DNA sequence: AAACTAATATACCGATCGGTACAGTGGAGA
DNA sequence: TCTCCACTGTACCGATCGGTATATTAGTTT
């Protein structure tokens, strides 16, 4: 018996490894150890090595946010999409038990490798949220400010809940942020 | 001529290196390269190696925050101390050009090495800010919530401004946070 | 069943890892 | 001036790094 993978099966496993160990901390041996996938397979699917693996993970994350968060914010009913965002974000980050890889990469030298992907992720999030806020009745400048504060607050909540090892901090922060945005669209 | 260092001179140089590269990314050779301090000196002052170096950096950071931020928040005039906090924090983090090492360590596996130091840093910050807010007229639960939101917002602003390579995001976020706390103590 | 091929395991590569050992080096006190 | 010792530079250690080469495996095609 031989377990056969596809690229699409591997990326989520890689994602979890990079999340837990960071880019530099995720060595090839630790990756094979945690994912159960040997070097042979890894380099078969990702000839560009570790950098291509991390790039694939970022692309996967981006695709998920695009369809689950950004697109609804841009196209669907504004209030409904914003409400769904808080729920989906709380689920995605496992109530603070999972970090944002994009944010983590931004903090150290790894940013240099994925500069545009990292910037894009946040720019599009803020723009999509801002668009929804405007459709919900906010003025343009206020929408922009609130969107930035919202995304900012999510990242802070992830850092804080990891530091305090307390998922309640994350969920509580999301609630507070949600209430503030809702109050501003009334 | 021989350049002679003291431990106290080295710690800030180490801090900057860990900030830029992260714990795993800061290899001994990169540390000597960036600080100009050879392995011999490094292991003379920090026999425990890399982990002791990072520990000394965290202790140094903690000491700075204790005297420059936490103590004033706990003991001095509340409104004045809170106002000073925003200014000092903006300076310390170089308007978003410098990251919070404690927050960065919290995000990956490095947290396991410095779990209590990381948690302490944030707990004491939140408690000190909460104390100041109560003296400024907040009810206990509201003070606690606002303090958490304030510290949380600072961490988020650091992530976001790094990701977007835009220091204005950081300064702007601090201003917004400051205004919200001030509005709540009126 | 033979040929082909995508996927996998493993041995191996030079470079670098964190850490150790030790021989200087140079300024301060006797 | 001689001794002492905190400090520094460098050579070296075994382990592990990211990456390559290649033989093997197991379906699929013919």
B93-133 pLDDT tens trace: 999 999 999 999 999 999 999 999 999 999 999 999 999 99
The verdict on B160 touching A (C-beta cutoff 8 Å) is yes
Chain B residues with CB-CB distance to A173 below 8 A: 148-149, 152
Strand D–CB A33 distance below 7 A? no
Contact check, Cβ <8 Å, B164/A123: yes
The verdict on B111 touching A (C-beta cutoff 8 Å) is yes
Q: Which residue has the tokens 């992830």?
A: A158
Strand D–CB B41 distance below 7 A? yes
Residue–nucleotide distance: B111 CA to D18 C1' (Å): 25
Residue–nucleotide distance: A31 CA to C7 C1' (Å): 18
pLDDT band at A5 (very low <50, low <70, confident <90, very high): confident
Q: What average pLDDT score do residues A72-82 get? A: 98
**Between A167-184 and A140-164, two packed helices, what is the crossing angle to 10 degrees?**
170
- The CA-CA-CA angle for residues A122, B87, B62, to 5°, reads 85
Contact check, Cβ <8 Å, B22/A24: yes
The full set of domain ranges for chain B reads: 7-184
Contact check, Cβ <8 Å, A163/B119: yes
Total beta-carbon pairs less than 8 A apart between chain A and chain B: 140
Q: Which CATH class is domain A58-184?
A: mainly alpha
pLDDT tens, chain B, 186 aa long: 567 789 999 999 999 999 999 999 999 999 999 999 999 999 999 999 999 999 999 999 999 999 999 999 999 999 999 999 999 999 999 999 999 999 999 999 999 999 999 999 999 999 999 999 999 999 999 999 999 999 999 999 999 999 999 999 999 999 999 999 999 997
Structure tokens at A165: 């090892």
The verdict on B22 touching A (C-beta cutoff 8 Å) is yes
Q: What is the pLDDT at residue A2?
A: 62
Chain B, residues 74-103, CB within 8 A of chain A, namely 99, 102-103
Q: What average pLDDT score do residues A71-91 get? A: 98
pLDDT tens digits, A92-128? 999 999 999 999 999 999 999 999 999 999 999 999 9
Chain B residues with CB-CB distance to A169 below 8 A: 148, 152
Q: What is the pLDDT at residue B5?
A: 87
pLDDT band at A43 (very low <50, low <70, confident <90, very high): very high
Task: Yes or no: say if B111 and B118 are a contact pair by the CB < 8 Å rule.
Answer: yes
Q: Does the structure show a pLDDT above 60 at A1? A: no
CA distances from A130 to A74, A82, B110 (A): 9, 10, 35
Task: Yes or no: say if A11 and A73 are a contact pair by the CB < 8 Å rule.
Answer: no
The verdict on A154 touching B (C-beta cutoff 8 Å) is yes
pLDDT tens digits, A44-56? 999 999 999 999 9
Contact check, Cβ <8 Å, B159/A152: yes
Domain B7-184, classified CATH 3.30.70.260, yes or no: no
Q: What average pLDDT score do residues A144-160 get? A: 98
Q: What average pLDDT score do residues A68-87 get? A: 98
Q: What is the pLDDT at residue B1?
A: 58
Give the CA-trace dihedral at B137, B138, B139, B142, to 10 degrees. Answer: 180
Select from A10, A164, A182 the least CA-distant residue to B155.
Answer: A164
Chain A residues with CB-CB distance to B172 below 8 A: 148
């Amino acid at each position: 018996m031989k377990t056969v993978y596809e690229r699409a099966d591997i990326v989520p496993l890689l994602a979890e490894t990079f999340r837990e160990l960071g880019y530099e901390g995720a060595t090839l041996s630790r990756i094979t150890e945690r994912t159960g996938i040997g070097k042979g397979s890894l380099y078969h699917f990702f000839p560009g090595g570790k950098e291509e693996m991390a790039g694939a993970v970022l692309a996967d994350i981006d695709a998920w946010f695009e369809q689950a968060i950004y697109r609804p914010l841009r196209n669907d009913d504004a209030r409904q999409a914003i409400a769904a965002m808080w729920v989906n974000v709380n689920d995605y980050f496992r109530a603070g038990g999972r970090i944002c890889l994009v944010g983590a990469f931004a903090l150290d030298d790894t940013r240099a490798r994925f500069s545009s992907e990292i910037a894009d992720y946040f720019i599009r999030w803020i723009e999509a949220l801002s668009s929804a806020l405007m459709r919900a009745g906010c003025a343009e400048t206020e929408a922009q400010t609130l969107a930035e504060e919202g995304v900012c607050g999510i990242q802070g909540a992830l850092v804080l809940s990891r530091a305090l090892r307390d998922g309640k901090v994350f969920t509580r922060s999301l609630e507070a942020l949600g209430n503030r945005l809702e109050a501003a669209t009334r």
